[in-house]
Amino acid sequence: MAGFKYILKRMAWSIFVLFGLSILIFCIARVIPGDTATMALGSTASEHAKELYREQNHLNEPLPVQYFYWIGDAVRGNFGNSTQTKRPVATDIKEFLPATLELIAFAAILEIIGGIGLGVLTARKPGGLLDNSVRVTSYLGIATPSFVWGILFMLIFCHWTHLLPTIGRLSSNIVPPKNITGLYVIDGILTGNTAAAWDAFKHIIMPGTALALTGIAQSARMTRASMLDNMDKDYVSAEIAAGIPMRRVMWVYVLRPSAIPAVSMIALDIAAMLGNAFMVEQVFSYPGVSKYCLNAILNKDLNAVVGVVLVIGVSFLLVNIMVDIISAFLDPRIRLQGGTI
Amino acid sequence: MVEQKQPILRIEDLYINYKVYGGYSYVIDGLNLNVFPGEKIALVGESGCGKTTTVKSILRVLPKQAKIAGGSIVFDGHDVLNIKPNELNEVRRRKMSMIFQDPTASLNPVFTIGKQISDSIKYSGLADRKDKKAIKERAIQALNDCSMPDPERIMGNYPFQLSGGMRQRVCIAMALATASKFMIADEPTTNLDVTIQDQVLKLIRNLTDEKDMSLILITHSMGVARMMADRICVMYAGNIVENAKTEELLEKPQHPYTVGLMNSIPKLTGDSILSGIPGRLPSYLTPPPGCRFSTRCPHAFDSCFVKKPPFYDIGNGHQVACYLHDKSVPQSIKEEAVSNE
Ligand SMILES: Nc1ncnc2c1ncn2[C@@H]1O[C@H](COP(=O)(O)OP(=O)(O)OP(=O)(O)O)[C@@H](O)[C@H]1O
Ligand SMILES: [Mg+2]
């Protein structure tokens, strides 16, 4: 029960954060660009047209009032039209976001399993063969940007071996599955269209892996470090001395307290992927929201930027709440005292 | 007690060093120790002399920086230093248990007390692994034995919800619940106030007596040693320097270090033995080549600085590692040495 109250408290807190975020975005949308009407209609528009636009869009009201009109629209998903695609921004986001979510979901699963798994395995024998090879590889993983991995993968798996498709989200001869969640792999499985699911899956292997590599390296090192830290504690000696099998000691008794810092890092890293995915989306011509946002920035497509930034911000908040829930599950001190570690 | 029997634990010529920044710390230096079935031994010595290191090596739970560089440990027919992991785990489960020094660190912070006790019982083979009810009953019984109030509730608690004294009793309960032949208790009563201290010691004494277990009790206090032990082993800088029956040692201490210890305790009622001898432990990085106490010993003479003294048997099961008891050293030298204050 105490745990539930704690989560509620954290959620209430995130509403404040959301409020702050919306003010920030409002500034991007209204305050920074100068004259909004000129931005919207172009510098060639007549003064009369601009005045009419201002009147219609409440731009003559004081800023706080404007904020309420603006947030009202934003909450209803009305961000105006994109100057690039000439469509409502919301429609664009609905189209591009699921692609990125699918990519990130794959990368996230890789990062969680790979990062934590390698962390535990290397902590078992520090200085051993596995530990040293992971250490060297992880330096590479951290130091090499994901787009370089992307290009490397393309060379190996497409150009030389033809194992995987190069670009896009789906091969041209495959019809997208019926839209249920927007994630092709899931929709493909749900509708029994396994050919589409498999094809879509093959398309996310390379960009997803490239996106996850840095995070895997970092989270493996972090898990390893906190595992080693905890393994020196007397309670671990006591568990070993009680004859509890080493594997169980490592994967249950040491991992649980050690996972807490790693989990927070991984979660925030996953949230950050929404913004960072543009590199691999660009390299693989993957039609995701991150690439869409990059183009919007390059083309000064303000409405689109505002829409995507808001989506990313809300995702960050959701991830933060999830981190809170997971940490509370892992650590009774957080759950029962509402305190920190 | 019954010394005509074979010892249940025989440690011979044990060397242990720690890898530290800038070299190795040569801590345990050719230590010998025998414990007979049913015998209660007190291991006494100032902080940092290697008591915990010694007993941790018996269960093979030394930290990873530690290396056992030589010697042998034979426990109940098992060659502990060259044992297969499975056999070692069997020994840990069924034959030996240990109470660790720091009660705040010897319980896992993120699991309930019930889960931790149940797991040790489960692996001890004392109850059917799948019989959850029997395991729980045993756990509650163990907590009851340690006069824990309301054991049912404690089982559902986390370590941070208990006081230091309660945690210590949980550790003792856990060790006693699974012990059958041999018990190691590393300063089980530090951090407890005097009334509970007495209660806990009596508990250990009674439960080990009941099952005719052997006991190695580590303590800073001669008073505790007198109350609990049949035999006292005095340890200095990685060696046992004197070993005798409790009354014999308290009445006729022979080693200059033991004598120093006794002089520093008013009336042997159980105060700390930290002070009283000028100087401090030598550096383990570059230990003195001869007797390790030679740097502080008021009676040291030539031989003491050259070669480590062996154990001299002076009858009545009393052994001393000091050249003052070497028959080949001329009486005149000894007299001169002793008159040196
Ligand atoms: N993990 C470690 N790394 C390096 N040196 C260590 C380590 N653990 C212990 N030592 C060193 O070994 C020596 C003996 O330590 P040990 O813990 O065995 O002493 P102790 O007799 O149990 O002391 P206390 O009464 O304070 O518990 C100390 O000098 C200590 O600094
Ligand atoms: Mg100690």
For B126-152, the pLDDT digits (tens) are 777 888 899 999 999 989 888 888 999
Non-local (6+) Cβ contacts of A234 within 8 A are B100, B101, B102, B105, B106
Look at B160 and A256 and tell me if their CB atoms are within 8 Å.
no
Nearest CA-CA partner of B42 in B203, B200, B188, B146: B188
CA distance B302 to B291: 11
Q: How far is A316 from chain B (nearest CA, A)?
A: 27
- C-beta of residue B280 within 8 angstroms of C-beta of residue B315: no
Asked if pLDDT for residue B271 goes beyond 60, the answer is no
Look at A241 and B102 and tell me if their CB atoms are within 8 Å.
no
- Higher confidence at residue A8 or residue B119? B119
Asked if pLDDT for residue B19 goes beyond 90, the answer is yes
Q: CB-based contact (8 Å) between B61 and chain A?
A: yes
Q: What is the pLDDT of residues A162-221, one digit of tens each?
A: 888 888 888 888 888 888 888 888 888 888 888 889 999 999 999 999 999 989 999 999
Asked if pLDDT for residue A106 goes beyond 90, the answer is yes
- Higher confidence at residue B2 or residue A26? A26
Minimum Cα–Cα distance from A335: chain B residue: B110
Non-local (6+) Cβ contacts of A105 within 8 A are A183
- C-beta of residue B184 within 8 angstroms of C-beta of residue B55: yes
- Positive or negative, the CA dihedral B10, A240, B92, B111 is positive
Q: Phi and psi for A338 in degrees, rounded to 5?
A: 65, 15
Interface confidence (ipTM) of the complex:
0.87
- Positive or negative, the CA dihedral A157, A159, A164, A170 is positive
Q: Where do runs of H (alpha helix) occur along chain B?
A: 51-58, 85-94, 113-124, 132-145, 151-155, 164-178, 194-210, 222-228, 246-251, 256-263, 331-339
| DSSP per-residue codes, B29-62 | EEEEEEE-TT-EEEEE--TTSSHHHHHHHHTT--
The token duo for B43 is 């291991």
Q: Is the CB of B49 under 6 A from ligand 1?
A: yes
Look at B119 and A237 and tell me if their CB atoms are within 8 Å.
no
Non-local (6+) Cβ contacts of B18 within 8 A are B24, B25, B27, B63, B65, B66, B67, B284
Q: What is the three-class DSSP state of B298? A: coil
Q: Kindly report the length of chain B.
A: 341
Task: Fill in the amino acid letter for A191.
Answer: T
- C-beta of residue A215 within 8 angstroms of C-beta of residue A271: no
Q: Which helix (H) or strand (E) holds B319?
A: strand B319-320
Minimum Cα–Cα distance from B120: chain A residue: A242
User: Dihedral (C-alpha) B123, B125, B129, B131: value to the nearest 10 degrees?
Assistant: -130
Q: What is the pLDDT of residues B186-198, one digit of tens each?
A: 998 876 777 778 8
- Domains of chain A, start order: 100-300 (1.10.3720)
